[in-house]
Structure 1
Amino acid sequence: MTSTQLRLLAVFSLGYFISYLFRGVNLGFAPFIIHDLHVSPADLGTLTSMYFLGFAGAQIPVGVMLDRYGPRRVTACVMLVAAIGALIFGRAGGLGAMMVGRLLIGVGVSACLGGAFKATAQHFDVGRLTLVNGLVMAAGGLGGVVVGAPLSWLLSVAGWRAIATGLAVLTAAAAAAIWIGAPTKHETRSSAGLLEQFKGTWHILTSRAFWKLAAFSGLTQSVFYAMQSLWVGAFMRDVALAGTNEGPARAATLVSVLGGAFIAGNVGFGALARALERRGISVYLTSGATMVLFVVVQAMIAARVPFPQTMLWGAYGALGGTGILTYAVLAEHFPARLLGRVNTTFTLVIFLAIFALQVAIGAALGHWPMQGGHYAAEGHITVWTALIALQAVAAVWYFLPARRARPAAAAV
């Protein structure tokens, strides 16, 4: 790996780390927000999901801008919106203002993942993308570790509003690092007009091949991120650790275990997919197999199989992000000029689903009365069972033989 590639990987990984940190920070903030604002489970789910709504809503225009102006310019500039959103979120006096701040955060980090994948596709060979993109995801996964035990400790010495302000400063610094540190080579402006660029996005959205790839992967990832960013801590506390002497501190530790396993899974499965590909096993098949294993682990957790909690949640974290391998499959299927829009369109699918799931999960849990600050175990299990069933249906379509599709190269 050259020094230019290392520099690119470092600055874009930092951007995605911050994106991931914002994604899950309400996991630690939730008890304090509930105490300060007296919000219901549905309100908490809606507040947290505003990040995903903003992120999803920005994906199509961001994808067009990435292909037109390049990942360095777009990612650095858009991240400044996230810094403003974090300031609003931390200073807000009511739920409405907090939702605005959370929405702006989602918009502001909307280019971090697609921009990183666009940049790696420009500077690395296609055969290395499974590993390189896995490293980007692993760096983001550090955010999943930080929102566990480290954030729990930080909240014991500083208020959540002060932490939100600190995140705003960190975000602005990361934007500057990307602007200054990312290489400018290959960042040429597209000659196609904006209308033609949007036509390319429409081509992707109407491609059967895209949806066949995106449905199972998008659903497994949206389930994982919806849970990890808000509801998994409550599940651990109310179901997995119910009846034990272990409390919120143990749940925070398991969240960090999950986040650490996510990092290892992204690096390990990315390398494994590359190794298997050299032996004739496609990334498509490897990704499908690991996603099926993720569904199996969810079923084991929901059924409360008597396995050590660290092993179960470690497996959940390691397998939860393996659908990311689909980005490499998409890079092989679609031409390079479409990759910014392909990546952001796929991310749009995932984050719209996360938004819907977080709201739906909060509403579903609200159907059972809370007792002593805990959600009903029956509600948690009902939610997990429904999500497992949805993923199982998507898995069937993923493995069905593909029909002949019109060529992706026809788009602009």
Structure 2
Amino acid sequence: MPASTPNVTSASMAFVAFRVLLPFACGYFMSYLFRSVNAVIAPNLQRDLGIGAGDLGTLTAAYFVTFSLFQLPLGILLDRYGPRRVQACLLLSAALGAVVFAVGSNLSHLVIGRALVGFGVAGGLMSAMKAIALWLPKERWALANGVFMTAGGLGALAATLPVELALEHYHWTALFWGLAALTVFASTMIFFIVPEREARPPSTANLGEQLRECGRFLADARFWRIAPVSMMGMASGMSIQGLWAGPYLRDVGGLDRAGAAQVLFIMAAALTAGFTLTGIAADRLQRRGIPLGRVMSWGVVLYAIVLAALASGWMPTSPLLWIAFGIMCNTTVLAYPILSSQFAPEQAGRINTLLNGVVFGFTFFAQAGMGWLIALWPRGDNGSYPLVAYQWTFGLAMVLLLLGLAWYLLPRRTAA
């Protein structure tokens, strides 16, 4: 049984950090590791399965299909049963998916395994955001979200050089057996360490009423004002960081596997720092009266500049360029506290998971679509795709991002 819940009024930041956020951070670490690992093992998958960029993109993006489809029921489950029980159960499905991925013998088997993993880690971020909304005051959400998401950056970090070093001694299937074991450990931590805490007031709505309320959220203009820029920003960032950065470095930058893994490691380190820096900067700027929406908009403009640099092929292996990408690519994660702050805390699970579902559903099309777009150009004699393929792909991502930002900034009668 989990430890008894402490007196709510005396809950300190230290208690929340170690007894609430840390166990959930282990699950989010695994979520990002699974999401990012294919960027390093892509050559192994292409060699063993005999697939090109299109199939590789579809295989990797299968993670996002089940992830996004489960967001609506996930929000309802989080609000009804709490993040501890929901997330602990889901992670066991991710462990099963890792096993299926390890034992699969063809592309279809691996797609099924990848889809199970996506389903199992679907609550990695949203369960923590629900816990943050339950345990912390609203003005601390942006900081807590940013610090918590550092665990995701660490997962992305673990998916680079550590994975490449492991592949020097073990087959990629053995790697996934190990990931399955770590996922079970994360599930156990969440179930036995995190205390329960009811939303105030506790929800008494039945399933039908909650579904109708989700429909009202989806019809809310506040939701669709911020959803497009969040979709474009996070989908392009996850698609490149989680898969296409590796092929880009090998095809355009001319790096070997070890060299590409080193640059991916630098990018993941910057991603980790970026999560924390974004949260800290947003928190301090809010205290100075600068709204989160303006902070996010500045970050989106900087991220668009980085995408333009990648599309140009200018210094494709520059550590500074990939550090900038890692820091800026998740700026639109600020859309979550911006949106959830406009609703009641007991609705946070549903509103955040609805946004997450839209974002990750679009990410499936973005990551798979990038693969099929790149595959429109023939490979060279060395098996690499030409720069022009990536120019069109990353350039389109930049244009869509700026269109999403323009929609968000469009003047309206009521401020977000």
Shared fold (TM-score, shorter chain, > 0.5): yes
1:258 aligns with: 267
Read off the aligned partner of 1:35 and give its amino acid letter.
R
- Count of residue pairs brought into register by the alignment: 402
- C-alpha contact (below 8 Å) 1:220/1:291 kept by paired residues: yes
Does 1:326 find its partner at 2:335?
yes
Assess if the C-alpha contact under 8 Å between 2:313 and 2:387 holds in 1: no
TM-score normalized by the length of structure 1:
0.94
Residue of structure 1 aligned with 2:324, choices 308, 312, 315? 315
**Aligned partner of 1:384 among 384, 391, 394:** 394
The answer (yes or no) to whether the contact 2:199–2:346 under 8 Å persists in 1 is: no
Aligned residue for 1:339? 348
Task: Determine which of 221, 243, 254 is the counterpart of 1:230.
Answer: 243
1:216 to 229, 252, 257: 229
2:411 match: secondary structure: coil
Say if 2:86 is the partner of 1:71: no
Unaligned runs of 5+ in 1: 408-412
Q: Out of 360-369 and 310-319, give the one that drifted further.
A: 360-369
- Please list, as runs of the form range in 1=range in 2, the aligned pairs for 1:7-406 lying within 5 A after superposition: 7-186=19-198, 190-239=203-252, 241-242=253-254, 246-305=255-314, 309-371=318-380, 372-404=382-414
Scaled by the length of structure 2, what TM-score is found? 0.93
Deviations along 1:295-321, one digit per CA (max 9) or x if unpaired, are: 111112222345971111101100111
Cα pair distance change 1:164/1:187, threshold 3 Å: farther
- Please state how far the C-alpha of 1:266 moved relative to its aligned partner: 1.1
Distance 2:174 2:43 in 1: 16
Q: Which amino acid aligns with 2:321?
A: L
Contact 2:35–2:242 at 8 Å: present in 1 too? yes
- Partners in 2 of 1:228 and 1:365 — Cα distance? 16
Task: Give 1:286 shift.
Answer: 0.3
Q: For residues 386 and 14 of structure 2, what CA distance do their matches in structure 1 show?
A: 53
**Unmatched 5+ residue regions in structure 2?**
1-12
* Superimposed CA distance per residue, residues 17-44 of structure 1 (whole angstroms, 9 cap, x where no aligned partner): 1001110111122111111110121111
* Partner deviation per Cα, 1:234-282 (whole Å, 9 max, x = no partner): 112222x24xxx4322211111111111111111121111111111100
Deviation by residue 1:351-402 (Cα, 9 ceiling, x = unmatched): 1111001111111111111121211211111111111111111111111112
Q: Provide the rounded CA distance (Å) in 1 between the counterparts of 2:16 and 2:376.
A: 53
CA contact (8 A) 2:60 2:114 kept: yes
Q: CA deviation at 1:3?
A: 2.1
Contact 1:290 1:322 in 2 (8 A): yes
- Deviations, residues 1-25 of structure 1 (Å, cap 9, x unaligned): 2324422110011111100111011
Question: 1:2 is paired with a residue of what secondary structure?
Answer: helix
Return the alpha-carbon distance in structure 2 between the equivalents of residues 363 and 304 of structure 1: 20
**8 Å CA contact 2:222, 2:339 repeated in 1:** no
Give the deviation of 1:151 after TM superposition: 0.9
Paired residue type of 1:27: A
User: How much has 1:124 moved relative to structure 2?
Assistant: 1.0
Tell me the equivalent position of 1:410. none
Q: Secondary structure at the match of 2:74?
A: helix
The 2-side partners of 1:183 and 1:218 are apart by 33
**Tell me, what secondary structure is at the counterpart of 1:43?**
helix
Q: CA RMSD for the aligned pairs?
A: 1.6
What residue identity is the alignment partner of 1:134?
G
Q: Is the 1:59–1:345 Cα contact (8 Å) retained in structure 2? A: yes
